[in-house]
A and B are shown apart, each in its own frame.
Chain A
Amino acid sequence: DAGVTQSPTHLIKTRGQQVTLRCSPKSGHDTVSWYQQALGQGPQFIFQYYEEEERQRGNFPDRFSGHQFPNYSSELNVNALLLGDSALYLCASSEGTREQYFGPGTRLTVT
């Protein structure tokens, strides 16, 4: 049984560009949450998707948007990239109200 998978593993973008990160949840999980982990910090909640809708959102600007597909996979989009967006982006999936399982993350570097 595959766990949570994320792609790409790493990517480098330039300020002002746009980026899309992808996440496939663990089999049987219907909820996907995204977190940003800056260097030396704990993960911070960006938003959560359930039934293809954004259910909860953390304190992140509208430049951060997402989508969930009918197969429960999800995308995170960031527009107008800033240097401060450089971080490890983690996707977590869960079933109902149970614990969240994390993927390996996507390391985004903005130059």
Chain B
Amino acid sequence: AQSVTQPDIHITVSEGASLELRCNYSYGATPYLFWYVQSPGQGLQLLLKYFSGDTLVQGIKGFEAEFKRSQSSFNLRKPSVHWSDAAEYFCAVGAEGNTPLVFGKGTRLSVIA
């Protein structure tokens, strides 16, 4: 069965520090991978996506993610966190053909001064 695991429920980082959010997936087909961000009471905004090709993908707001097939991982990184990055982050997996997305339970990011 398809599944996404985000091991960290809540992470707190200092403003200006680096960030890595973990995501592991289980998917039978070639995965399409996504990271979305959700601010309180809001919908989901797409940060970045991986369909194929270069395993290091760049997204909006200075985020990047690396696809590692051998580890079934797609971790999200940012070199320097800003206070406005505080939000809930969701990793999702799908496949070609508009298959439904399967989401992880999310990681809540808090940013302290």
The interface of chain A, by Cβ under 8 A from chain B, is 4, 6, 31, 33, 35, 40-45, 48, 50, 55-56, 58, 90, 92, 94, 96-97, 99-105, 107
Residues of chain A contacted by B42 (CB below 8 angstroms): 104-105
Q: Does B99 reach chain A (CB closer than 8 Å)?
A: yes
Q: How many Å from the CB of B101 to the closest CB on chain A?
A: 6
Cβ contact within 8 Å between B97 and A97? yes
The interface of chain B, by Cβ under 8 A from chain A, is 4, 34, 36, 41-46, 49, 90, 92, 96-106
From A45, A58, A99, name the one whose CB has the most chain B CB atoms within 10 angstroms. A99
User: CA A98 – CA B8 in complex, angstroms?
Assistant: 28
User: CA A104 – CA B103 in complex, angstroms?
Assistant: 17
Residues of chain B contacted by A45 (CB below 8 angstroms): 100-102
Cβ contact within 8 Å between B100 and A58? yes
A104's partner among B43, B46, B92, B100 (CB-CB below 8 A) is B43
Cβ contact within 8 Å between B96 and A97? yes
Cβ contact within 8 Å between B36 and A102? yes
Cβ contact within 8 Å between A42 and B106? yes
Residues of chain B contacted by A101 (CB below 8 angstroms): 46
Known contacts A42-B90, A42-B103; is A94 also within 8 Å of B46 by CB?
no
